[in-house]
Amino acid sequence: MEGRELHEAIMELARRRGFFWPSFEMYGGLRGFYTYGNLGTKLKRNIEKAWRRFFVDPHGFLELDTPVLNPLRVFKASGHLEHFKDVMVECFKCHRVFRADHLIEEEAGLEYVEAMGEEAIKRLLREKGIRCPECGGDLGEPQEFLTMFQTQIGPMGGEPGFARPEAAQGMFLNFKLGFHHARERLPFALAQIGKVMRNEISPRRGLLRLREFTIMELELFFDPQEGQCPWFKEVSDESVKLITEEMEAEGFKEPLEVTLGEAVERGYIKTEWQAYFMGVSKRFITYLGVPPERQRFRAHLPEERSHYSTQTYDHEVYLESWGWIEVAGHAYRTDYDLKAHQKASGVDLTVRRADGSRFLPHVVEPSFGLDRLVYVALEVAYRKRDGRTVLALPRWIAPIQAAVMPLVARDGLPERAREIWSQLKDAGLTVEYEEKGSIGKRYARQDEIGTPIAVTVDYQTLEDDTVTLRDRDSWRQVRQEASRLPELLRSYINGEREFDELGRPL
């Protein structure tokens, strides 16, 4: 299965089995919002856990949870108010809508018009006498379109508030205290998993483009004079597929294959820190089930980059359904944000060096779209076998870790199976009990939601208290004593053991 068909099959499965579905359906629906069901919530949580395991915990970084709603002052200072806004013009005649800055660039041969600001755009539009490029018609008054959601904080039209379009500002606003909590030593990082909102013009493709979504972001603060990353040697031999800014500019489609060490040496990646996180990023995405050959890093051209970034690499994954899609952005934000907030607030955010000099730390940011990762994990795991669907999710992210079932629902088998179910739950595993229908049907149901292990209680169990364990991917079975399951299954789910090590083959 490929292309759109695959996407539809996954969306259907997601809805039918309770991973996710469009929100507000009972009121007619609204594009760009999705609701996660039981399995989706668990999958999402497991991906979050994996992210912490790769990005936060090994380095002792600090986590934050900051407000979604921010006052105007924050986004004025951060530059978002200026840059998350596009000036649009509509043609009177054919009613096509264009971005004014792009129109000026094309028609007047200018560059980086967006950066000139709103007034200049409006003026240029008049001065250059620009008309509709499609039909030659007159253009209407330029309209601003702000991609941030706006509201009022407090009663009676209090203070304008905006929903954050990224979690990063929370880390910058709390840099000072965060730095203190990190014992005032660089480098350190603040990380956050949280909801963000963007009023996208045209949300599409299910979870891939939402108006409200969850982002997993990390801001690494370091002294630009000491740009070395202490962990870099762990990934410097890791090879990555790179489309550098130069290659992008010249239209090369085939990525360069280099090690991260070489990429830094040759200047493709500006800092060791960024290269380090790209290496971790590759390992993290691989851990979610995406093979390395389906991953690449693509540099943004200057006009594609956000206002705060001096170098950005998108981490992209190849999907059968949609081609290359972005799952993470790796941005070198320099001291842009701290400088902006220091200037606007008057609060000194500089840090002292051993020699007494003061400076603003530089920032490298890996930023993941969690919802996209949920979809990617599902699509990459989607298999067909003998006409059945198997979700071959890596077992460490599977929403249900094991299913316990009696071979048949009688003769005391359900009772024993329920006991085992309880023991596994008590051991901290996410386990389902199922006795409905035939055993084959139950295996098929569990395959479809990606449950890696099925535990079956049969007549032999009543004699010697052993059960069969069945592997989702190979459908092979082994036999093991019920009392050893909590320990064995836990290590299996963690990846410390392989299926063959779980018992005697049958």
Contact positions with RNA (CB under 7 A) in 264-303? 300
HEC readout, 210-241: CCEEEEEEEEEEECCCCCCCCCHHHCCCCEEE
What are the structure tokens assigned to 346, written together?
């008057």
Site string for RNA, 374-393 (x = CB under 7 A): ------------xxxx----
For residue 193, give the H/E element and its range.
Answer: strand 188-197
Stretch that binds RNA, among 154-162, 183-191, 287-295, 306-314 (CB under 7 A): 306-314
Give the residue carrying structure tokens 């049958």. Answer: 506
Measure the CA–CA gap between 6 and 24, rounded to whole angstroms: 25
- Binding to RNA by CB under 7 A, coded x per residue (else -) over 459-478, reads x-------xx-x----xxx-
Tell me the closest approach of the beta carbon of residue 160 to RNA, in angstroms: 17
DSSP secondary structure, 453-470, as one string:
EEEEE-HHHHHH-EEEEE
Binding RNA (rule: CB under 7 A), the pick from 69, 97, 301, 347 is 97
Q: Is 304 in the site for RNA (CB under 7 A)?
A: yes
Q: CA 55 to CA 330: how far, in whole Å?
A: 13
Residue 188 or 499: the one with the smaller Cβ distance to RNA is 499
To RNA, the closest distance from the beta carbon of 153 in angstroms equals: 21
Dist. CA 370–CA 376, nearest whole Å: 10
For the beta carbon of residue 450, count every other beta carbon within 10 angstroms. Answer: 27
d(CA 112, CA 307): 12
Which one of residues 53, 95, 123, 195 is an interface residue with RNA (CB under 7 A)?
95
Contacts of RNA in 104-143 (CB under 7 A)? none
The secondary structure of 393-432 as a DSSP string is --TTT-SS-EEEEESSS-TTHHHHHHHHHHHHHHTT--EE
Q: Residue 71 or 292: which CB sits closer to RNA?
A: 71
Q: Minimal distance in Å, beta carbon 263 to RNA? A: 21
Q: Which is nearer to RNA, 191 or 403 (CB)?
A: 403
Please list every residue from 184 through 243 that binds RNA, using CB under 7 A: 198, 200-206, 209
Site for RNA in 150-189 (CB under 7 A): 165
Strand 431-433 versus strand 402-406 pairing type:
parallel
Which residues, numbered 16-55, are part of the site for RNA (CB under 7 A)? 16, 22, 26, 28-32
- Identify which of residues 42 and 442 has a Cβ nearer to RNA in the complex: 442
Close Cβ partners of 420 (under 8 Å, ≥ 6 residues apart): 404, 455, 457, 467, 482, 485
Q: Mapping DSSP to helix (H, G, I), strand (E, B) and coil, where does residue 209 land?
A: coil
Nearer to RNA, 308 or 396 (CB): 308
The site string for RNA over 55-84 (x = CB under 7 A, - otherwise) reads -------------------------x--xx
438 binds RNA (CB under 7 A): yes
